[in-house]
């Protein structure tokens, strides 16, 4: 497994655990609607991102990729919703099912040369969603605006830094072929005939 992919998976796991832990520790301060939004967002974003990665990694077994994507998304939605209410659990699990299924399909459908790009895009969306969730949690807990989230320049710098780090770590998947490699293989095959 490439270091970039390992870093992405560790980040997804760590941030998910952070959001779930904050939800558990502050559950009495959340409105039911806030808890439902946290569970839905967690289930969908984790399911989509992990579903895409699993869909790419085990593209030869679409059934297993779909099941794994659904299981991870459902688990994230369930764990984020359980401290709040049964409605939040249901919202989180259903969002996780949908996110995991759609993520696995997307990972399966994307051609090889765009695997890195789609994972980076999904990871960016995941990070954006979780930063908004952390802002929502902090706002619900303290009932005041958090200064870090109010300055858009800091957020832009943070995302720029994350993109630079991801690009410096190298490719996420090693089986990537560029469109030129495919053309050269195709041309070489025809000239051999």
pLDDT at 87: 92
Distance CA 165, CA 61 (A): 31
pLDDT at 165: 75
The structural domains of the chain, with segments of one domain joined by +, span 3-192
Q: Note down pLDDT in tens along the chain; length 193 residues.
A: 677 788 889 999 999 999 999 888 888 888 888 889 999 999 999 999 999 999 999 988 999 999 999 999 999 999 999 998 899 999 999 999 999 999 999 999 999 998 988 998 899 889 888 888 888 888 778 776 656 556 667 777 877 787 777 777 777 887 644 444 444 444 554 555 5
**Tokens (6 digits) for 66:** 């779909």
pLDDT at 185: 47
The answer to pTM > 0.85 is no
Distance CA 85, CA 75 (A): 15
**Tokens (6 digits) for 141:** 């807990």
Distance CA 33, CA 42 (A): 14
Distance CA 143, CA 29 (A): 10
Distance CA 6, CA 147 (A): 31
């Amino acid at each position: 497994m490439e270091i970039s992919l390992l870093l992405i998976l560790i980040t997804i796991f760590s941030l998910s655990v952070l959001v779930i832990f904050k939800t558990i520790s502050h559950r009495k301060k959340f409105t039911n609607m806030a808890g439902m939004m946290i569970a839905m967002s967690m289930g969908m974003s984790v399911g989509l991102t992990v579903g895409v990665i699993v869909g790419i990694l085990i593209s030869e077994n679409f059934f297993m990729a779909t099941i794994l994507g659904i299981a991870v998304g459902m688990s994230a939605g369930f764990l984020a919703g359980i401290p709040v209410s049964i409605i939040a659990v249901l919202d989180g699990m259903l969002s996780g099912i949908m996110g995991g299924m759609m993520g696995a399909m997307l990972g399966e459908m994307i051609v090889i040369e765009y695997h890195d790009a789609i994972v980076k895009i999904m990871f960016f969306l995941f990070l954006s969603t979780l930063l908004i969730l952390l802002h929502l949690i902090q706002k619900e807990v303290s009932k005041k605006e958090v200064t870090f989230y109010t300055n858009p320049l800091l957020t832009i710098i943070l995302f720029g830094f994350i993109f630079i780090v991801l690009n410096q770590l190298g490719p996420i998947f090693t089986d990537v072929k560029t469109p030129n490699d495919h053309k050269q293989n195709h041309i070489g095959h025809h000239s051999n005939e």
